[in-house]
Structures are given as structure tokens and as C-alpha cells.
Structure 1
């Protein structure tokens, strides 16, 4: 066990950042992350995915601290397979969700609770998402949903989701929302985001003297990058992330994480620039 990356916590988004277009962890990224951890680094993911969507990747990821799931809505310990903190949507949000379903025919609605996803409505976009994530599509009515909602994902044509955002601005209280991809609008509890998830993780682990590196590619990663000591995006990242990132790396299909890790002095140069 080395010490080169001692006191560095690396937190990465998955889709569009760590994973390539085939939704796989490349061998180069896997080996680079193993090297990072073997040299004393702390590593985890910050993702919009739920537990079941991350677990299949654990053989390729040397995660050694809890992960930030549901875009900051939960901290999950993969070793003990237990949720150690979560923040759910307000109980009355389901009333507004019913109004959304009735007001926007054709919208796809995915509800995440109890470590599962249920489909209130579906469309071509939700069908594609099912295939990508290997979901078993369980269709339920809102009346059949039991328990608190971890998050809700509205899935539709991007231009149509713009209209839904206007509706939320006018009608929603006690919640926040973010685009994780152009066709995904995720609704979360107030102040839930990856940045606050990272802060809760550091507090939970008592990591007061650790430097943080955040990697991401889309708007749901902005809070992660700004909460990190060093925020890094990828060449395929959203322009808004490129405008705030400390560094823009390679495309996610070109082993962006491995490239940063193997440029060992780059991280330390970036830390010096931020001081």
C-alpha cells in the first residue's frame, strides 16, 4: 500500500463520466482507480442511480467509502449494503405529481422508493432507459405507491420537459429539480444535490483534512464540482460545467479518469492553484 494519494477523496459521476458509451468501466479506468486506491486514495461514486443500478459495477470499482446515490438523496455503504442516510420527497408531493401526469399526456414518470423503481407512465424514452439500466418495468398507479418517494424522474422529449420545468416553477414547493440528461428531469427533496451529498459524506466519515476531487459531465454534477476542492469535467461535458471546472479532461470514451490519475502531478498542481 502506497501513500501518494493519501488524504485525497475522488468522487465521480458514472454515466457520461466514468462509464463509456457502452455503459462499461474500461480496463484502463479500472486499473487506474485500483492504482489510486492502492496508493492511499479514497474513492466513491456520486450518481443519480439507485443501489441496484450501481451494485453490478462493484467488481470493476474499488469503492472504499460510501457512495452518494439518487443525485445526493442518499448515502449508501456498499460493504454493509445499508443506507446510512437519506432525504425523501415531501409526502404531499404525490398530489403535484398526479397533476403533472394529468397535465402532460405522453410524459414518462419513474418513481424511486424502497430501493426500487416503478413506472407510473411510460414512453419511448422510459423504454430506452429500461434497456440501458436493465430495469424490470413494473407499472403502478400512484395509488399503488407505498412509502416515501426518494426521487421522481420525468422522462420525455427535452423541449417538452422545458414546459414541465415552467410548470414546476409555478406550482412546486419543498422540492428541487435538475436535468441529469436532456431527456431526464429529476425531482428531489429541497437542497438535495450531489454537492450536499458530498458534504454529508465528509461529515459522516469525519474527513476534515481530506482534499476532494469531483468528476462530472452534466448539470446534476455542478453542485458536486463546486463542493469539491478540485472540480473536473470531461470533454463531452455540458458547457456550463466547463465554465466552472478547474480542468477539462478527455472524453468519457477516452478513459478520462485514468488520464487524470496517471498525470499524478496534475492534481497537486491544481490543488496549489486553488489555495
Structure 2
């Protein structure tokens, strides 16, 4: 993950965090939060409150045994009690609010007469203002009917259903949000002065408050994710306490060094070890000499592509063109952007640096009125072309330019250059965002509309979605560089929504809950559990192939964590995508007769099996890998 700007000033005075599966793992109680909070917590001005379904005594027990740090307040029982931890007493004024319209015996009688597998939770979860039950996999319609049953009994109460198993019946004023609002008024604070964090449906009342700031951890249940998807909420990349810490860094409460690494060491894994052993068996000097020679040759080749307009797609003097090959005598957005990114370590070479900058200028200054970056700009007449051969569109060209512009400015610190072109880049982001035609955070890509321009991917394509996620992060970071923290925050938060959608749609699993809404790919039981992000999904079908480039970028850009990346690289090494060297772009290849086979794959014999975009060997993909 890109580390947030620690210089963002905040006006947050109260933290209101759920406990189970937000700060700590519900089953193991493991968490880094206590350790990090004790080391990095603000010296003054920020109060810590736990807002939980647990009762006060249970929370105090977690504090006393060292699982959680000491708070200032405990809002317990899903918003039915407020406990002043410093004074060691219940805030009794809040109880007076809860008595209005509450009849505990009538609640118990109504629940007993409801037809369904509802079982009362143990007594330690019950008190005078809360009745809690187990009710597994209840549908929304069933919960609505329970609410209507209380309405018919003239009872104005709160029915809270969470994690597809917990049913809580509470007084009408009792929920996590109302209790938090009451506490804020008591402390003379506004909702905008509070930061909340949660993982499940019973936390939604906290996020419902106007002007509230929030953190949704990566392991959040679908009910809360959907509820907060379009809100100004930070969706963390990490689970539980690590996700909360990540959010606290984002909001400027904790310093960047508070970020906790949770990566697992897999160097002992058999397949990984085989690769390491193979490398170790080579002669070190011979290997280093070969690397150095390759590096020097690469710089020579790179300089052959320097032109007055930027990096060309090939060396002009070394390549005689025939027919459509003339397209290579252009500055291509995709190729140029990748070249800029890959050559940034050579920024001190004046000739290369000048070409890096000119490549970006050529592409951005030739963008269309609606913000589309050209596919390429021809060298001979400086004319932009917004498509390739046959009018095939190129959605990813603009995404690569946004990413490359950020990487360039991040290295050179040329804020004046950024300020000059930020308006153009914003228009490009709007043009790209318009391709999210159903507002699900993912782009809908026309067939063959990216770098595999004679290969039949379409709709939600892994490679494009990974780039889309990264471009939102990059654009947000550029806005931060210019001091526009509010708009930067919108893009960073939206990037987390994109990431969640990618993982939900492209990493299928058979481990689905009975009433959970699932994507099309997840409904294909024959797909099973994949150890990689699948190639594409559409409303009508999916491709279960492994897009090597897309999966490599997913790891490099932080879309998947180290654990998922380990599974993916183990799979790819196991099936031999790197043999022959460096790497093929897809596994397995598409063969005639396969449902994914398209007649145009035979055009110029380009996409026959193990050729070109159909499993061909790509040095630049290997370079990223």
C-alpha cells in the first residue's frame, strides 16, 4: 500500500471503535492494536472509546488481561450502556433515555412466538436493555417481518441483525450510533470530530451519522461494505487491528511508522525453495557479469528509441516497416508510459530524463477534448491516433499515462510540472471513470480494448481493473502533493472500494455463506477455489484462465496481500509460466474449439496457441515479474 501523507491535519477528538473482528480477532483475540497504540498514541486531545456488542464486564476483562489498551469510554451492549472508564462508573443519565417505550417482558414474549430457529444467547450477553439471540442465515425479508411484528405490538424498538447469526433487540434509542451521538453531545463535540471503525451490520449506525469519518476493515462483512461503499469512508487494505492502524495513519492520528507488517515468510515452501536453489547453484560472478552486460545493452537500446516527441515503440533506424508496421514509428501511450516508469532510475541521465518528460508532454497535450489520451502520436506528422489497427480502442493507454505521470513526479519532485498538467490528468480520470457504466467501481472494457488488442477479453478484465485501482491511488497522491487533501481523500477511499470489488469478483471461493450475494464467477461451482485472480468476468460468463501480467501487477500495486501473492506465484511457477524464459502472458492458452476461441485469432497468424497474446513470451511482462 502507498503510505498516506502523515502531514494531513485532523480535527478528530474521539475514536469510537468496535472490538470483535475490528480491533481483535473474535476467535483468537490476536491484534497489534494495543502494542501500536501504546507506542504511538497522541499525547493529548484524542479520546478512545470502544463501541461494542460485548457487555462492560467482558470488555474490562479484555483490558485487564492485556488484549486491549485502556480507553476513556466503553459503549457496550450494542449502544445500551455508556461506561466512563476513568471514573470507573456507568453514565446513568444515558439509561433514562433508554427507558422510553421499552418493555423487556413483551420483547421476550414476541420473540418466543416467532416461527424460526431463534435461540437465546448466554446470560453474559443479556441485560435490562438488550436481548440477544442466535438466528443463523436469516434473510432480509425475515428480519423485516420481525420488525413488523413489533410494530403491530405497538413497540418502537431497534432490531439489529449482524454477521448472519446475531439478532439483538434494543430500545428505540439504543444502537451504536445513537449512543455515540449522545456521548458526543455530552463532550460538546460534533460528529465531524469523531472517527469510527467497524466490520459488521451492527456498526452501520455509527457510519450513518452525518459528517462522520470512518474506517471499514478489510475483513468487513458484505452488509457493512455495501452500506459504506459510496460513503466518504476509508476502506482499509488490512484486516482487524492492522486495518484500524492503517486508517489511523491515513487520518493523521498515528505516524506512518505505526503501519504493521503482517507478511508471512514462505521461503521454506518447496516450489519457492526450488527456484532459490536454482539461482544459488549458478556461478555468482558469471551471473553478475551477465546482468551487468544486459543492463548496459538495455540502456543502449533505450537510447535508440529517443525521438523529439518521446520514446518511440521501436528503434527507427533498426526497423524497416512494411504496411501496418508503420504504427511502430510512433510514441505509444502504453509503451511510452511503461518505458518512463522503467527508466526512472536513470533520471540523472540528462538525455533520458528529457525524453521521459517529453513522452508525457506529447501524450497529455494531444488528449481529446473529453480527456482521452491518444493511443499513439505519429512521429512523421505529429498526429494523434486514438485507436489502433482496425479502429480498436485502447482504454488502458490513459491509465498507464496517469500512473507514469505520478511515478515521474514522485521521483523528480517537479511540482511545477504537476501543477501545469493536473487539470488535464483530472479530465483523463473522468474519461476513464465514465467507463464504469453500471457504477460498480469497475470499468467495462470493450472487446480487445487494451494491450491484448487482438485477443478477445471484454467487460471486467483483471489487467484493466488492477490499473484502474492503481491510477486512483496515483491521482490521489498527486492531489496530496498539491495540498488538495479533501479531493485526494475521495480518490484514495474510492481506490479501496475498487480493490474490494476486484477481490470479490476475481478471486472466487467455494466458501460462500448461504444468503451471501455472490458474483457470477462465484456461482460457477465448477470453478472451485482458485489460487489466483481470474482473467475476466462478465454478467454472462467468466474466464478462469490465469492472466500472468494482471496477477503480477496485482501484487506490485498492492491489490493482493503477500499471502494471496504467495499462492499465485506458487501456482504460476508450478505450471511453468516461466519456461521458456522469461514468461508467457496467459495460462493455459486458448485452442481452437475452446469456448473462448475467436475466429479473428488467426489474423496474420498472430494469436495461434502459444503465440502473441495467446501465451506468447513477453520480455516486458517478465520485467515486471
The answer to whether TM tops 0.5 is yes
Q: What pairs up with 1:1-275 in 2 under 5 angstroms?
A: 7-26=12-31, 28-34=32-38, 35-38=40-43, 40-58=45-63, 59-84=66-91, 85-86=94-95, 87-88=98-99, 90-104=101-115, 106-110=117-121, 116-117=124-125, 149-159=128-138, 163=142, 165-172=144-151, 173-208=155-190, 211-227=193-209, 229-237=212-220, 238=222, 239-243=225-229, 244-253=231-240, 255-263=242-250, 265=252, 272=486
Structure 2, unaligned stretches of length 5 or more? Answer: 1-8, 256-479, 491-625
Aligned-partner SS, 1:14: coil
Q: TM-score, normalised by structure 2?
A: 0.34
Structure number with larger C-alpha Rg:
2
1:204-249: CA deviation from partner (whole Å, max 9, x where unpaired): 2233597211101111111212326312211122332341351100
Q: Could you tell me how far 1:252 is from its partner in structure 2?
A: 2.4
Question: Could you say which residue in structure 1 is the equivalent of 2:439?
Answer: none
Q: Could you tell me how far 1:110 is from its partner in structure 2?
A: 3.6
Does structure 2 retain, via aligned residues, the 8 Å contact 1:33–1:62?
yes
Separation (CA, whole Å) in 2 of partners of 1:264 and 1:189:
33
Separation (CA, whole Å) in 2 of partners of 1:271 and 1:155:
44
Quick one: structure 1 residues 271 and 205, their matched pair in 2 at CA, closer, same or farther if it must change by over 3 Å?
farther
Q: Could you tell me how far 1:19 is from its partner in structure 2?
A: 1.1
Q: Could you tell me how far 1:164 is from its partner in structure 2?
A: 5.3
Separation (CA, whole Å) in 2 of partners of 1:160 and 1:223:
20
Aligned-partner SS, 1:72: coil
Q: Could you tell me how far 1:111 is from its partner in structure 2?
A: 7.8
Separation (CA, whole Å) in 2 of partners of 1:254 and 1:209:
23
1:57-113: CA deviation from partner (whole Å, max 9, x where unpaired): 22343344212112111211123331103325845342242232144364212487x
Separation (CA, whole Å) in 2 of partners of 1:39 and 1:252:
27
Structure with more of its chain in strand, by fraction? 1
Question: Could you say which residue in structure 2 is the equivalent of 1:138?
Answer: none
Does structure 2 retain, via aligned residues, the 8 Å contact 1:13–1:45?
yes
Aligned structure 1 segments of 4 or more residues deviating by more than 6 angstroms:
266-271
Cα RMSD for the two superposed structures: 3.4
Quick one: structure 1 residues 89 and 51, their matched pair in 2 at CA, closer, same or farther if it must change by over 3 Å?
farther
Quick one: structure 1 residues 75 and 236, their matched pair in 2 at CA, closer, same or farther if it must change by over 3 Å?
same
Moved more, 179-188 or 28-37: 28-37
Quick one: structure 1 residues 77 and 234, their matched pair in 2 at CA, closer, same or farther if it must change by over 3 Å?
same
Quick one: structure 1 residues 216 and 191, their matched pair in 2 at CA, closer, same or farther if it must change by over 3 Å?
same
Moved more, 158-167 or 192-201: 158-167
Aligned-partner SS, 1:214: strand
Separation (CA, whole Å) in 1 of partners of 2:160 and 2:485:
29
Aligned-partner SS, 1:18: coil
Quick one: structure 1 residues 229 and 168, their matched pair in 2 at CA, closer, same or farther if it must change by over 3 Å?
closer
Quick one: structure 1 residues 199 and 25, their matched pair in 2 at CA, closer, same or farther if it must change by over 3 Å?
farther
Quick one: structure 1 residues 166 and 160, their matched pair in 2 at CA, closer, same or farther if it must change by over 3 Å?
same
Q: TM-score, normalised by structure 1?
A: 0.72
Separation (CA, whole Å) in 1 of partners of 2:125 and 2:240:
28
